[in-house]
Chain A
Amino acid sequence: MASSSTPKYNSNSLESSSSKWALKDGTNWEQNDEIPRLPGETRVTDKDVIYMCPFNGPVKGRVYITNYRLYLRSVENDPVVVLNVPLGVISRIEKMGGASSRGENSYGLDITCKDMRNLRFALKQEGHSRRDIFEVLTKYAFPQSHNLLFFAFANEEKFSENGWMVYNPMSEYRRQGLPNERWRVTFINEHYGLCDTYPSLLVVPYNATDDDLKKVAAFRSRNRIPVLSWIHPETQAVIMRCSQPLVGMSGKRNKDDERYLDIIREANGQISKLTIYDARPNVNAVANKATGGGYEGEDAYPNAELFFLDIHNIHVMRESLKKLKDIVYPNVEESHWLSSLESTHWLEHIKLVLTGAIQVADKVSSGRSSVLVHCSDGWDRTAQLTSLAMLMLDSYYRTIEGFEVLVQKEWISFGHKFASRIGHGDKNHADADRSPIFLQFIDCVWQMSKQFPTAFEFNEQFLITILDHLYSCRFGTFLYNSESLREKEKVAEKTLSLWSLINSEKSKYTNPFYTKELNRALYPVASMRHLELWVNYYIRWNPRIRQQQPNPVEQRYMELLALRDDYIRRLEELQITNNSKISNSSASSASPSQMMSQVQTHF
């Protein structure tokens, strides 16, 4: 965007290519054919409004609403203001002012978005002009509350890649070397009979029968039994995930669960204890006993060591993000930025999640002990911990495709409740089920990629794109709470996968500095000295904070790469021509390049 001649405030990066088009042809703007439209996207209504831009002041414009997006373009061209907002990001629509309210631009709509911004539109007071637009917006932004389908089901886009083929659980387990003589694949959950929030295919200890699994399920919250997430190729230590045991106030025990954990412990041939990481703070785990939950007590599980990782619950995370928004939107807190940032606790939560994941990864890798991770239900903090630990241990997950597999596996197939946490198409903005758990995970990944800029095949744009479509409802990828529900809604048949979009244009999401390294554990430093606020995501709507795009360091590297390739090509051509001539040269002195070959020596 840096090359465009006019600043484009508060515009959406989702459709950068199409809004660029709008900019270029801004002068020939015609009312019918101008809004970028996806195949399957239909226009619903449009209206003259005043966009109350928090950075630029009121902007006269026309807003167009389709079944997918809200699109606004300013009437004036200097500067062109374009808003391009998928309706899926809308969390709440409020009317502001009444028919009788005085004051300029006091009558209109206030829209709260899930992606760290608010939009305000002022409308003319005459003739209830607001009612139509409010109703249309409400209807299409919250299709679930109006018995309508998500836009993903109407989307007719075509991509060269099929993202639904990216994740095949069987091939992923095979990649890990499974099944083997100690671990087996079970189809016990084929019709989600054992656990309706788990995937149909599970990997369990070879020595545990399907009957054992059923008995264990009875003792685990929502039947989420311990199953394998990842196996270390050398130590054979595994990362298992599950939900809390149903210990309750009376301290119930379950022989099958106790034996099952012992089988897991023995499966990697080690005699050390099984390490259980309970993601919650100790007090919360204790408090859970009151509602029937709890944790693995010492008496019942003498061969296990239990650690609490002190990660807080979904409500704390939601409030923390809310506070963060308060200090960055619309204006960045001027004075006392650092203490304001600290008081949101956002980075502190990031630190704790990363710290927990490092512990899990380190235990499996250098502690050579199998690990069991759970929180209460095992679909929020547990998913964060297992997926981050896997990202630290297995370089495959640091590739574009590998990361897609990781998200697909640890988050989507294991029932992270995306629909509830994000509130897709649901008007109930105050739902206590909503929480930015997945965002927090992506932030952790960003922190890692920031600390290790050559270790990831994907770039920042990849992560931002994932987050944008976490809300957009353009793809089926993040819709619904579980695999069984997605199967019921035929998501894979009727919608497109986000990975189709990304994999069809991989170069856009590729980090040029990526250096492939196999089997290298990557431990971030979970210190506030290194953790940073992800400005390019959380403050991206503010034109004052906007980072340079494209990144100059990256750009320079790309130029050098192109130059190198050009030289190699020309050198080959030269050599061919020279070879055809008679060469009478003899051995020469060492190439001057050898003198330069040791740039990285210490001072």
Chain B
Amino acid sequence: TDRRNQTVMFDTLEDWRDELERTKGNVKYKAVTTNEGYRVSEKLPLYFVVPICVSEESILQYEGRGIPIWCWSCHNGAALLKMSAFPKEQDDSTSQMQKAFLDGIYKTISNPPYELLKTDDLSSSLPSLQDIQTAYTRFKQLFLIDNSTDFWATDVKWFSLLESTNWLEIIRRVLKKAIEVTECLERQHTNVLLIEESATDLCCVISSLVQVMMDSYSRTKLGFQSLIQKEWVIGGHGFLDRCNHLHKSDKEEAPVFLLLLNCVWQLVQQYPPAFEFTETYLTVLSDSLYVPIFSTFFFNSQHQRDTNTTGESLKTQSNPFRFLTVWDWSVQFDLKGQAFLNNPLYAEKPKPDKSQRKTARFKHQRQLSLPLTQTKSSTKRGFFREETDNLIKNILGKRIGKFINSSDEPPNSFREFYDSWHSKPVDYHGLLLPRIDGPEIKVWAQRYLRWIPEAQLHGGGTIATAAKILDLMEEVQSLQVKMDEEHSQAISRDVHSVPLLRDSPRLSSLFPFASLQRQSIKPALPTSTWKDLEDEDDLVKRDDEFVDLSGDML
């Protein structure tokens, strides 16, 4: 009954309206029903959100291409939009018409009340899907280890092997792009329009990441799941093709969703108290991608899902076919297992004063995460806003189609934004920017090392501290129960004794995914040999200190 305690599925008009209301986007954006019966396109969801000024006709004109589709509104009113681009046309007149159409659209959404618009063509500013697929294939290969010899043989060159896959570099570039978009929304107060051919791959990655970084609701479990529904499942990411579930064609395969999870993991490990879920949650979520009992990650679009779950093909079967949603974690895990998905470190948002705002819990965050919008440059912008708006009306052409990081941007504006944020204490409920310097981008060890016995830390790893925290939480909870009981004086004497801190069973760092108990406690010993220090030959041959000991022999 309470919609707020559920994952929002975004399959109803209501869900979109709620989201608009939550983010205060409803002044300038509207949820439309134009695609009911999939009249516009089978690739688009039944319901989606566009700027109020965009007409039904224009949505229908090119099957939704060239239409800015709303993703999310920032607290200052700036919005994150995405658009499916026109394919390259050979025919000149067609492309002229499309260009005119786009100009018209840009014009409409560049007038006040809409903010300045910046566009970013992700297909040119980020690695291609092919690059991503190639990198990930190589990366994955590094963890498919046959035996101990293999493990140690690759160990010496581990860092350069890792680098040669390019996977971590792609993660870094994606995170950097998300910070750039965030800077436009948060500090420059401009709308950002992400463009991609289908707007269902890298657009999903960037828009999801931006929301995770800017909207603390997306860092709760329900909020994150709703986000995945909104941007990916309903948003029309082609899971069937990208995961190659049917093994029909390798050509379309690309780990786009895994790329998002890898990026979110970087944030989770950099800011553990900011997320309601754990890395284990991300790991099991990534596993669920390939569990075929769930419909969530099985289809290319909402249309495909609808036709396959209610269509003719299934009616012929005697029993109605029922697909499950992955978000019902009880399907996969019992309560104890589910406990590992919840982050004991999550710093819950302090409850707002009820008298002041009753509905604050579900409402979009209003308070500024940072005083950044008050920095000199941006107040100036605000101050001159009305004048510039008038001015800009006259030179509208320059106002649109500006690319992020275009040459008229101050070159270090990104760096400044990044450094300024990092020089301040972190507000776990506010804006969150990932650290992207080389040493900060790491391998998602839990996901990728979990089946490798050689990499097992017996009694170590992050699980060692996590288990201690869980133990302690459990103790605190039981103390709480006892206190309540004491208060009601309705219990017997014998449960009064305070339990001692229970020793956690010694867990392996592979826990909870594998329990490779070694028979003995013999350490894993590298079998590889030292590789040559080519350039230091002369040093290598020297002894520590040049003293002729033979003299002592006299």
Where the two chains meet, the residues of A that have a C-beta atom closer than 8 Å to any C-beta of B are: 2-3, 7, 79, 221, 246, 248, 252, 281, 283-284, 287-288, 291-293, 310, 312-316, 319, 332-334, 336-342, 345, 347-348, 351-352, 355, 358-359, 361-362, 366, 375-377, 380, 433, 451-455, 513, 515, 520-530, 533, 535, 539, 543-546, 548, 552-553, 556-557, 560-561, 563-564, 567-568, 570-571, 574-575, 578, 581, 583, 585-588, 591-593, 596-603
Q: Report the Cα distance A525→B163, complex, angstroms.
A: 22
Within 8 Å by CB of B522, from A248, A281, A362, A571, lies A362
Q: Which of B55-63, B226-234, B399-407, B456-464 contacts A (4 or more CB under 8 A)?
A: B456-464
Taking CB atoms, residues of chain A closer than 8 Å to B522 are: 362, 366
Which residues of A are found within 8 Å of B271, using beta-carbon distances? Answer: 548, 552
Cβ-defined partner of B476 (8 Å) among A281, A315, A376, A564: A564
Beyond contacts A515-B504, A527-B158, A567-B479: 19 other A-B pairs, Cβ-Cβ < 8 A, are A221-B549, A246-B552, A281-B530, A287-B541, A291-B548, A310-B530, A315-B542, A352-B530, A361-B523, A452-B460, A453-B465, A525-B454, A526-B524, A527-B155, A552-B345, A560-B476, A563-B476, A567-B480, A574-B486
Shortest Cβ distance from residue B415 to the other chain A in the assembled complex, whole angstroms: 9
Q: Could you write out 27 A-B pairs with CB less than 8 Å apart?
A: A221-B552, A246-B553, A281-B540, A284-B543, A292-B551, A293-B543, A310-B529, A332-B437, A333-B438, A339-B160, A366-B522, A451-B509, A515-B503, A523-B458, A525-B454, A525-B457, A528-B159, A529-B455, A533-B439, A546-B422, A548-B426, A552-B272, A556-B345, A560-B476, A575-B486, A593-B477, A593-B499
Task: List the B side residues contacting A581 at CB < 8 Å.
Answer: 489
Interface string of B422-456 (1 = CB under 8 A from A): 11111000000001011110010100010010111
CA distance A556 to B346 in the complex (A): 9
The answer to whether A351 touches B526, judged by C-beta atoms less than 8 angstroms apart, is yes
Chain A residues lying within 8 Å of B162, measured Cβ to Cβ, are: 338
Chain B residues lying within 8 Å of A521, measured Cβ to Cβ, are 521
Residue pair B496, A527 in contact (C-beta under 8 Å): no
- Residue-wise interface mask of B (534-549) relative to A, using a CB-CB cutoff of 8 A (1 in contact, 0 not): 0010011111111111
Which among B159, B449, B459 has the greatest number of chain A C-beta atoms within 10 A? B159
List A contacts of B443 (CB < 8 A): 529
| Contacting residues, chain A, for B548 (C-beta < 8 A) | 291-292
**Which residue of B152, B462, B483 contacts A567 across the interface (Cβ within 8 Å)?**
B483
A198 to chain B, nearest CB (A): 16
Please choose the segment from B291-299, B320-328, B336-344 that sits at the chain A interface, where 4 or more of its residues have CB less than 8 A away.
Answer: B336-344
Q: Identify which of B184-192, B202-210, B466-474 touches chain A.
A: B466-474
Are A599 and B474 in touch, CB under 8 angstroms?
A: yes
* Chain B neighbourhood of A451, CB < 8 A: 457, 460-461, 509
Residues of B within 8 A of A246 (CB): 549-550, 552-553
Stretch among B9-17, B69-77, B512-520 lining the A interface: B512-520
Give complex CA distance A347, B457 in Å.
18
Chain B residue nearest to A528 (CB atoms) is B158
Chain B, range 145-163, C-beta contacts under 8 Å to A: 151-152, 155-160, 162-163
Interface residue B52 (Cβ < 8 Å from any Cβ of A): no
Residues of B with C-beta under 8 A to A548: 271, 426
Interface string of B486-502 (1 = CB under 8 A from A): 11011111111011001
Residues of chain B lying within 8 A (CB to CB) of residue A593? 474, 477-478, 481-482, 499
Most central of A337, A523, A529, A539 by chain B CB within 10 Å = A529
Q: Are B472 and A561 in contact (CB under 8 A)?
A: yes
Asked if B159 and A338 make an inter-chain contact with CB atoms under 8 angstroms apart, the answer reads: yes
CB distance from B361 to the nearest CB of A (A): 22
Q: Indicate if the CB atoms of A585 and B158 lie closer than 8 Å.
A: no
B507 CB contacts on chain A under 8 angstroms: 600
Q: Shortest distance in angstroms between A558's beta carbon and chain B's nearest beta carbon? A: 10
**Residues in A whose Cβ lies below 8 Å from that of B159:** 338-339, 341-342, 347, 528
Q: Is A603's CB under 8 angstroms from B512's CB?
A: yes
Q: Would A585 and B489 count as touching, CB distance under 8 A?
A: yes
What residues of chain B lie closer than 8 Å to A339, measured between beta carbons? 159-160, 163
**Nearest 10 CB-CB pairings of A with B:** A337-B438, A593-B478, A292-B550, A523-B523, A292-B549, A528-B158, A338-B163, A342-B159, A567-B479, A452-B460
Verify if B395 is at the interface (C-beta below 8 Å from A): no
A248 touches which one: B461, B521, B553 (CB < 8 A)?
B553
Min CB distance, A519 to chain B, in Å?
11
User: How long is the Cα–Cα vector from A451 to B498 in the complex, in angstroms?
Assistant: 32
The listed residue (B440, B491, B499) touching A545 by CB distance below 8 A is: B440
Q: Which of B467, B477, B482 has the most CB of A within 10 A?
A: B482
A293 touches B526 (CB 8 A): no
Chain B hits for A527, CB < 8 A:
151-152, 155, 158, 454-455, 524, 526
Q: CB-nearest residue of chain B relative to A591?
A: B495
Query: In the bound complex, what is the Cα–Cα distance between A544 and B272 (angstroms)?
Result: 19
Q: Identify which of A292, A377, A530, A588 contacts B491 (C-beta below 8 A).
A: A588
Q: Which of A288, A293, A586, A591 has its CB near the most chain B CB atoms (within 10 A)?
A: A591
What's the Cα separation between A601 and B337 when bound, in Å? 7
Assess whether A291 is in contact with B438, with CB atoms less than 8 Å apart.
Answer: no
Query: Nearest residue in B to A347 (C-beta to C-beta)?
Result: B159
Closest chain B residue, CB of each to CB of A223: B552
Bound CA–CA A98/B73 (angstroms)? 58
Complex partner residue of B481 from A2, A340, A377, A592, CB under 8 angstroms: A592
The answer to whether B273 touches A574 (Cβ under 8 A) is no
* List of A residues within 8 angstroms of B523 by Cβ: 358, 361-362, 523-525
A75 to chain B, nearest CB (A): 20
The distance from the CB of A299 to the nearest CB of chain B, in whole angstroms, is 19
Measured between beta carbons, the chain A residues less than 8 angstroms from B163 are: 336-339
B525 within 8 A of A: yes
CB pair A2–B425 under 8 Å, yes or no, is: yes
Residue of B nearest to A574 (CB): B486
Instruction: For B492, give its contact among A338, A574, A575, A588 (CB under 8 Å).
Output: A588
